Amino acid sequence: MTVQKTSNPTQSPARESLPVAPLRGRGAFTRPDARYLSHRRERFDDGWQDFGGEHSSHQPRSQLFIDHARSVISYNSSPDVPFERSINPYRGCEHGCIYCFARPSHAYLDLSPGLDFETTLFWKPDAAALLRKELGAPGYRCAPIALGMNTDAWQPVERHTGLTRQLLEVMVETRHPVSLITKSALIERDLDLLTALARDDLVEVTVSVTTLDDHLARRLEPRAARPRRRLETIRRLREAGVPVGVLFAPLIPALNDHEMEAVVEAARAAGAHDAGYALLRLPHELAGLFEDWLATHAPDRAARVMSRIAELRGGKTNDPRFGHRMRGEGVIAQLYSQRMRRLRARLGMGRMRRGLDTTLFRPPRPDSPQLALF
């Protein structure tokens, strides 16, 4: 990994040539132009350029840039998500999940939601200091913070930066409730902090499991932990006393929807106390990226998958309306919901769920040489 610095994340790093074949360890294999750019590029093979492939010498390397943020807590009022504030330590995600709904956010940096999203990453080295400042602000009202909702807070680069662990240390210091979602086994590194929070009902973890099929997982989410490894993470979290649930996401019609019961049952056997699902979303550039992926990795069912998505999305590839974007609409959407509801009831999931405690919060001590009176 190459680590570089930039004073402004909107200054685009130099792009590489556009590949046209799958790249080993990468979910996307194209760099569609960001929707806000004033120009558009087209691939053209003039016979001089090696456009790549699994054995290409032009494998794109990950690069890490500094994002100079002024704050770290983001607030939202969406009725579709169970949190009002969140922290995302990173922009972009090296897991390379082709279905990631956060891919189009790279367009705000004039970067491609394709390969750039999983190779051109940004981190906030002063995130922990900013968090302490925001939690210590006069009038701050404690409410659970969701960590890593857009991009995985325990993606591979976290091994080098330790940024997510620093944020968790602030949560432990201030006794602040936090909810987490990940598909990375690296979260086990922070079991000491998670157990300290769990003792006072200050944390809940959700592990995302998309499929139990390793062959499919390697193509859908090439640098994420393998499915069985995620189930092992659920087991280890539960054994450590950390509340943990499973999210079957995304549910992709005609591709992995038949696995809902198998995934949730396996997670329940590993110790998951609750389960949920989210339907595949294809906003903006993600639709084209996913269609390219289907044409390459699942050509025999590509038309069926896209037809079913359109059926669930009112004839479109995406429906951003609140109340519809996570579940879809129509008879098939209702069947998905019924399947999950009956599955949770049969497995006894969700019955003992406890809310996170907000009464133990204590603002961080200010950085001052003066000792506290009490």
- Percent of the chain at pLDDT above 90? 71
User: Residue 58's pLDDT is what?
Assistant: 63
Question: Cα–Cα distance between 12 and 116 in angstroms, integer?
Answer: 10
Summarize pLDDT for 105-128 with one digit per residue, the tens.
999 899 999 999 999 999 999 999
Across 13-27, 97-111, 120-134, 298-312, least confident range? 13-27
pLDDT at 309 over 50: yes
Confidence band of 263 (pLDDT split at 50, 70, 90):
very high
What would the mean pLDDT of 287-315 be, rounded to a whole number?
95
User: Residue 350's pLDDT is what?
Assistant: 84
Q: Which residue has the higher pLDDT, 1 or 144?
A: 144
- Percent of the chain at pLDDT above 70? 85
What Å distances lie between residue 14 and 40, 52, 90, 170, 286, CA to CA?
16, 18, 20, 36, 22
Q: Which residue has the higher pLDDT, 269 or 49?
A: 269
What would the mean pLDDT of 281-286 be, rounded to a whole number?
94
**CA neighbor of 234 nearest in space, from 256, 193, 265:** 265
- Identity of residue 36: Y
What would the mean pLDDT of 137-152 be, rounded to a whole number?
94
**CA neighbor of 2 nearest in space, from 160, 223, 108, 154:** 160
**CA neighbor of 210 nearest in space, from 254, 181, 167, 248:** 248
User: Residue 5's pLDDT is what?
Assistant: 44
Across 99-113, 269-283, 354-368, least confident range? 354-368
Q: Which residue has the higher pLDDT, 88 or 368?
A: 88
User: Residue 170's pLDDT is what?
Assistant: 98
Confidence band of 21 (pLDDT split at 50, 70, 90):
low
User: Residue 249's pLDDT is what?
Assistant: 96
DSSP codes, 58-96: -PPPPEEEE---S---EE---TTSS-SEEE-SEES-TT-
pLDDT at 12 over 50: no
User: Residue 15's pLDDT is what?
Assistant: 39
Summarize pLDDT for 196-249 with one digit per residue, the tens.
999 999 999 999 999 999 999 999 999 999 999 999 999 999 999 999 999 999
Summarize pLDDT for 26-72 with one digit per residue, the tens.
888 778 777 766 655 555 554 555 544 444 446 788 899 999 888 99
Residues near 24 by Cβ (< 8 Å), separated by ≥ 6? 54, 55, 59
User: What is the rounded (10 degree) CA torsion for 86, 88, 92, 93?
Assistant: -100
pTM of the model: 0.86
Burial per residue of 56-77, b for 16 or more beta-carbon CB atoms within 10 angstroms, e otherwise: eeebbebbbbbbebeebeeeee
Q: Which domains does the chain have, with CATH numbers?
A: 2-37+50-347 (3.20.20.70)
pLDDT at 98 over 70: yes
pLDDT at 157 over 50: yes
User: Residue 7's pLDDT is what?
Assistant: 40
Confidence band of 372 (pLDDT split at 50, 70, 90):
low
What would the mean pLDDT of 258-265 be, rounded to a whole number?
98
Mean pLDDT of the chain: 87
User: Is residue 159 helix, strand or coil?
Assistant: helix
Q: Which residue has the higher pLDDT, 96 or 36?
A: 96
